[in-house]
Amino acid sequence: MQRMIPHAVVHDSMRMLHRHSSSAVTEFRMMLAFSSSDDVMMTKLNVIQQGLAGFTELSKKYELKRCAEWIRDHNFVRVALQFPDQLLGDSVSVLSSLQEMVTANIFILGDTSYGSCCVDEVAGEHLQADCIIHYGPACLSPTQRLPVLYVFASCPVDIKHAAQQLESLCPDYSKPVLLMAETSYQHAVDSLYDELKGKYNGLVTSQLKMPDDVHEKSADSGEKSDNLSSGKADTQISTFCKCSRCFQLPPGVSLNECLVFFIGQEGLVLTNFMMTMNKCGFLTYDPATKICRQESLNVNKALMKRYYMIECAKDASIVGIVVGTLGISGTRDIIAHLRLLVRRAGKKCYTFVVGKLSVAKLANFMEVDVFVLVACPLNSLLDSSEFYRPVVTPYEMEVACNQAREWTGDYLTDFQELLPGSANYIQTTEGATDTTYVSLISNKLRRLGCSSGEDDGPNSASLILRSDAMGVASVEMAGDYLAQRSWKGLEQKLENTPIERVREGRRGLAMSYTHETE
C-alpha cells in the first residue's frame, strides 16, 4: 500500500522542493550563488519508492512509534524531519504516517547546507521548528539550541557471516578486538559481540556517545553496560571516547594493541576512524557486499600530507577561517579561539561563510594564503588538492600557531577537543616571543609570533623604532602585492576626470524607472 500526501514542501536552507504525487522524478533546482558545483544544480532523485516496502517495514526502519511518542511527550507543535538525499524517497511516506499519529505540524528538511550528517538548525529555525528528528547517518555533534532525536535508519547485517569473516582474517583469539560501526549498523555491534565473546579473550564493544542536549537516545545506540568490555569490573579499566564512540579496554591492554573491526562502508567515517586511531590495525566489513578486508591505507603517508598542511599554515601571512557549520555547539568558541591564535602568531585573519564549499568560491579570495575549515569531524578532512590554497583543520592550525602544542602524530578531527574544558586543551602562550625558523617548504627564513610593544619604561625607544620599521615593511608588502595583481579595479584617471555636481539619480525598478516614458 502506497501512503502519500497530495503535496509536501522540502526545505534545506538553500532550496525549496515542491513535490506532487503524480511525478515519479523530482528535479532539484538550486540557486547558482549557493550551488557547490555545476553538476548539482539539477540533481534528479527518485522520490517515490515506497511501493517496494510495506508500512510495517517502514515503521520499523524509521521508528515511527518512538518518534510519535517523543513528539507527544514533549508537546512539540512544529516538527522538522531531516533526511539525507539517499533517504528522501521515503520522506513523504514517513511524514504522512507520522502526521496520522500526532497533531503537530510536520515538515521535511532536505540535506543540510554543509553535510547530511549534521543537524541543520539553521533550516529548522527558518521554519520556526520546535525540534528536529534527524534520519540517517549522523556525526552526533552537539547542537546549540533545538532538541534533536536521532533515528539512524538501521540497515541489516548478517551477523554469522561477519563473525566468520573476522575469524578467518584474525585467527589469533588472544588479540584484543574492538568492535565499531557506522551509526546505521550500530545495532549489530552487540549481536556480533554475543556471537564472538566465547572465542576472543580481549573482545571489546563500543557505544555511541550521544550529545548531552538530545532528549532521548536512539534505539540503535547500542548502550549495554555489560557489553562494554569482556573484562570484569576493575578500577584499572581504561575508558576512551573516540569519534563519538565510547569503549573500555581491559587492564593491561593499550589502544595501540587493538585490532578495530569496523562494520560499514568506505567513506568519511572510516577515514575519520583511521586518522584518529592511526596506530591500530583495521578490518572492515561491508554488510551490503559482504566483503571483509584488511585496510591497507598508508596512514603514515596520510599523516605526512597533513603535516605538510601544517607547514603551509606556518608560512601563511593571511588566514581565512571558513565556517563549515552553523548548528554545532562551540562553533563561535572555536572561531574566537582560532582568531586569537592567528593574531598572536603575527598573521591576519578573516572569516568567511560561503555555504557549501567549492573550488570556485574559495578561488575568489586569492589574497588568502591558507583556509581553516571549521566543520564537524566527518567533514573536516577535506582533500584540498583541487583548491588553489591549502585547506587545513583547526587542529592543524593550532599546531602551526600554538608553540605549546607539538606534533606527535596523534591526530584530532573534533574541534571540541581544542576548547577549554577538554582533556586535549592546551592554553596558548600569553605574549608569545618572536620565533624565527626556516620554512620546510620555501627554505626561507620565517617568523612566528609578533613582538610585544607594551613597554612603558623610559628606555623603550628601540622598541618604538622597531615597531615603526615593521609598520613600513608591512605597507611595502601590501603595495607589492597590489602591484602583482592582474586586475586592480577600475581605472581612476585622477586629475583627468572633470568634477561634476551631485544630481538626482534614477527611481523605481530596473524594469520600469519613473523617468522612463511608456
Smallest CA-to-CA distance from 112 within 379, 392, 395, 361 is with 379
Cell reading at 94? 514517513
pLDDT of residue 431: 54
Burial of 441 (0-12, 13-18, 19+ CB in 10 A): exposed
Return the amino acid letter for 479.
G
Q: Do β-strands 131-135 and 148-151 pair in parallel, antiparallel, or remain unpaired?
A: parallel
pLDDT of residue 468: 42
Asked if 206 and 217 count as a contact pair (C-beta separation under 8 A), the reply is no
pTM: 0.74
Smallest CA-to-CA distance from 107 within 197, 19, 207, 39 is with 19
Asked if 268 and 379 count as a contact pair (C-beta separation under 8 A), the reply is yes
- All structural domains of the chain: 55-151 (3.40.50.11840), 159-211+238-297 (3.40.50.11850), 307-448 (3.40.50.11860)
Provide the CA 216 distance to its chain's centre, in angstroms: 23
pLDDT of residue 166: 94
DSSP per position, 238-267:
EEEEETTEEEEEPTT--GGGPEEEEES-SS
How many whole angstroms separate alpha carbon 169 and alpha carbon 176?
Answer: 14
How many whole angstroms separate alpha carbon 58 and alpha carbon 250?
Answer: 40
Smallest CA-to-CA distance from 254 within 305, 204, 309 is with 204
Q: Reading across the β-sheet that carries 245-249, which strands appear in turn? A: 207-208, 245-249, 238-242
Smallest CA-to-CA distance from 131 within 53, 208, 63, 71 is with 71
Interacting residues of 53 by C-beta distance below 8 A, sequence separation 6+: 61, 90
DSSP per position, 52-65:
GS-HHHHHHHTTHH
Interacting residues of 198 by C-beta distance below 8 A, sequence separation 6+: none
Local confidence pLDDT in tens for the 518 residues of the chain? 444 443 444 444 433 333 333 333 333 333 333 344 444 433 444 444 444 357 788 889 999 999 999 999 999 999 999 998 888 889 999 999 999 999 999 999 876 667 788 898 888 888 899 999 999 999 998 888 899 999 998 899 999 999 999 999 999 999 999 999 999 999 999 999 999 988 998 899 999 988 864 544 444 554 444 444 433 344 466 788 888 899 998 888 888 899 999 999 988 899 999 999 988 999 999 999 999 999 876 777 888 889 999 999 999 999 999 998 888 889 999 999 999 999 988 899 999 998 888 899 999 888 899 999 999 999 888 877 889 999 999 999 999 998 888 888 889 999 999 998 888 888 877 655 567 767 777 777 776 655 444 444 444 333 333 434 444 444 445 556 666 667 767 777 777 888 888 988 888 887 778 877 65
Residue 125 CB: number of other CB atoms within 10 A? Answer: 16
C-alpha distances (whole Å) from 153 to each of 57, 129, 137, 249, 447 are: 11, 22, 8, 29, 51
